[in-house]
Amino acid sequence: MGYEIDTSRVRVGELGAYLSRPAEGGSGGMLLLPMVTGIGEQVREFADDIARTGVTALSWDPWHGPSSDDTPHERLFEWLAELDDERSLDEMRRLLDHMHTELGLTRVGVIGWCLGGRFALLLGARDERLASVVAYHPTVPATPAANHTADPFAAAGRITAPVMMLYPRADSLVPWESFTGLRDALESRDTGASVVHVYPGAEHGFTNKTRHENPVNAAAYAMSWTQVLDFVRTTTA
């Protein structure tokens, strides 16, 4: 149930994006930052779920066209190793500009998964327009990747908006120390609520349906997604 929605592929300058909107309109929005899949089927489903709550969803395309729908994961991970922090953040800010101007939205948050979860924290520190930040299992390894030039730990402490961060305790990519460093940075802030979830036994990327053969991942997703949608509605209404 929920709102009827309209979906489309759109262009914002030279950037491609996926737009999902409640047919009745509305003033709230979320910028979606995908995992390595790009704007694959799973991310489009996330966007549509958000739109059905009455909140417009616009998805950033890190690969400028290809996605897991048509490109092998091995190739996507090769591109991941070349993704530039500053260029990516600039593209996200341009999409936020579009949401506030052409789409006429007044309260816009950001939500990201895996690589997008890390970028959500970085963008949250750089753009004070954001109404909220959601970081789903952000990929912040113990040793930063060579192409990671921005510091997510410092960024987390500078975010002024409410933040929800969700961490799977069996994350093989992000050690407990990285999670606690991010959590401590969020909880050091003077403004902005920190809502932090830990899912024992769940694995990195537990939101991805391809990992739901593990019932712990499926249960973590089912519990978390409902609460994330409530957080999105609350902060962007």
* Residue 109's CATH number: 3.40.50.1820
Q: Given this model, what pLDDT does residue 31 score?
A: 99
Q: Are the C-beta atoms of 42 and 87 separated by less than 8 Å?
A: no
Q: What is the pLDDT of residue 42?
A: 97
| Closest C-alpha among 98, 110, 100 to residue 232 | 110
- Position 228 scores a pLDDT of 98
**Structural domain span for residue 12:** 5-236
pTM exceeds 0.95: yes
Residue 189: both structure tokens together: 């802030």
Q: How far apart are CA 55 and CA 123, in angstroms?
A: 20
Q: Which two tokens stand for residue 16?
A: 């491609």
Pairing of strands 5-12, 15-22: antiparallel
Instruction: Supply φ then ψ for residue 41, to 5 degrees.
Output: -55, -45
Number of domains in the chain: 1
Q: Residue 231 and residue 236: Cα distance in Å, rounded?
A: 9
Q: What is the pLDDT of residue 237?
A: 82
What is the mean pLDDT of each successive set of 10 residues along the chain, which is 237 residues long? 93 98 96 98 98 98 97 97 98 98 98 98 98 98 96 98 98 97 98 98 97 98 98 95
